[in-house]
Amino acid sequence: MKLLRHTALLLWKDVRLEMRRRESLLTMFFFGTLLLFVFHFSFDLAPDRMVETTPALLWLAFLFTGTLGLAQLFEAERGNHCLDALLLSPMDRGALFLAKTGFNVVLMTLVEIVVIPLFWILFNLRSWDLIPLLFLIVFLGTVGFCVLGTILSAVTLKARARELLLPLVLFPLMIPVILATIRLMENVLRFGVIGDAAPWLRLLIGFDVIFITVGVLIFDRVIDV
Amino acid sequence: MLGPNGAGKTTLLKLLAGLLYPTQGEILFDGVPLTRTATELRAAIGFLAPSDHLYEDLTVAENLDFFTALYGKSPPKAAIHHALQSVGLERWSNEYISALSSGMKCRLSIAKWQLLEPSLMLLDEPYGVLDGSGVDLLEGFLKAQAQKGHIIVIASHHISRVLQLCSRALILHQGKLFFDEPRQQPWESFYRAFGEFMPHNES
């Protein structure tokens, strides 16, 4: 109960700070949109190749956009040694992990709400009825990305070239999430259902659950590194 | 707690605050080891770092609201107003921290710890940013805490100020404790040790 109360308090603080600064969300939104236009003008995809290419392009846009968000994740805590102020408090450090993960999920979801329909329009995809299912898959992938990203963002917090280091460490570890999301989206676009890609869905859910649990348990050590 | 630069004063304060953990030995607080999981124990420890530990893009009142809630305390608005009034910041309650001077941030930190009432208060060089009335305010706060039986540890180079307040002095040098004695009158041993380890400082 205390963990959830502290998580809500920290999450609300981050949302309030973002509403005032509008740094992360605007940057992520413009970058995500920009990437879509770059993809749109760079690839002249034949309709039969659309299904196998578009999920990877879309997820690539989310990966890069999400990395921008992760780079800013502890920015408020870096100023005035506010991280020390949080670590001094009686808060369970798992709450900090959950709040930061939750905050990044909120940011990425807001960006995705705009980017996915825009992607549909730019690439002339007609199956609008599939969007809710694709949103669910993207959301699960986003949670996986944010969970692992928050852990690694905390690990690299005191590193000198953290903006460079973070994607180098994060992307290889994200391969299961990327593969699962792309395979699932491909299946949904091709057949309209998850169908025989269900094992990828289980992998994605398993990844999310395992890393959320691991994050809560180890974050007190991770944040001290 | 005195000592030349690099003696280990801030490191020791951070160890006592639970911001660092010892590679050897352990820190006991009322017999309870201060470990990563000792969350309840941390509520009893305060650390006043002048002009630090405040969110720039939250207002003065929001910072107090946030940190008191984090410590599981939700003082009424009147208590927050009173704390701000006591440090002369009541007119600034809706201003962002970025609009405050270093001295005002330190005053706000004093108000924060007034509301949180830790039983161990650690202070790292608190005099540097305060003006005359700020120093009086800080010392008034420390004396009030001491009267309640709370422990106060100050790391400072302002010898004359801390000597008036302290009941015990420690001198650190190169990470080692060289002097640890309760206050006496006269205090020859202190001045001897002080002259030995900090020969260029005020005495």
Please tell me whether residue B172 adopts helix, strand or coil conformation.
Answer: strand
Q: Is the pLDDT of residue B27 over 50?
A: yes
Is A37 inside any structural domain?
no
Q: Tell me the per-residue pLDDT of A34-55, one tens digit each, with 9 for 90 and over.
A: 998 998 888 877 777 778 888 8
At A154, which amino acid appears? A
B40 touches chain A (CB under 8 A): yes
Q: Tell me the per-residue pLDDT of A185-221, one tens digit each, with 9 for 90 and over.
A: 999 988 888 888 899 999 999 999 999 999 999 998 8
Cα separation, A45 vs B97, whole angstroms: 52
Q: Is the pLDDT of residue B183 over 90?
A: no
Is A200 inside any structural domain?
yes
Q: Is the pLDDT of residue B199 over 70?
A: no
How buried is A132 (Cβ within 10 angstroms: 0-12 exposed, 13-18 middle, 19+ buried)?
exposed
Closest to A75 measured CA to CA, from A7, A24, A149: A24
What pLDDT shows up at residue A67?
Answer: 92
Which contacts qualify for B79-82: CB closer than 8 Å, 24 or more apart?
Answer: B79/B115, B80/B115
Mean pLDDT, range A117-135, rounded to an integer: 85
Which chain A residues touch B41 with a CB distance below 8 Å?
90
Cα separation, A115 vs A111, whole angstroms: 6
Which chain A residues touch B62 with a CB distance below 8 Å?
16
The token pair at B151 is 């422990």
* Least confident window among A81-90, B97-106, B124-133: B124-133
At A222, which amino acid appears? V
Is residue B28 within a helix (H) or strand (E), and if so which, with residue range?
strand B28-29
Q: Which domains does chain B have, with CATH numbers?
A: 9-55+105-197 (3.40.50.300)
Is A35 inside any structural domain?
no
> Is B138 in contact with B108 (CB distance < 8 Å)?
no
> Is A82 in contact with A76 (CB distance < 8 Å)?
yes
Angle at A72 between CA A147 and CA A122, to 5 degrees: 80
Cα separation, B44 vs A143, whole angstroms: 35
Is A171 inside any structural domain?
yes
Is A128 inside any structural domain?
yes
State the DSSP code for B125: S
A85 touches chain B (CB under 8 A): yes
Q: Is the pLDDT of residue B203 over 50?
A: no
Q: Which domain holds residue A121?
A: 2-10+55-222
B97 touches chain A (CB under 8 A): yes
CA-nearest residue to B13 within chain A is A88
> Is B102 in contact with B51 (CB distance < 8 Å)?
yes
How many domains does chain A contain in total? 1
Cα separation, A182 vs A176, whole angstroms: 10
Q: Tell me the per-residue pLDDT of B54-104, one tens digit each, with 9 for 90 and over.
A: 999 999 999 999 999 999 888 888 899 999 999 999 999 999 998 999 999
Which chain B residues touch A91 with a CB distance below 8 Å?
39, 70
- Given an 8 Å threshold on Cβ–Cβ distance, is A80 in contact with B52? yes
Cα separation, B177 vs B3, whole angstroms: 9
CA-nearest residue to A77 within chain B is B55
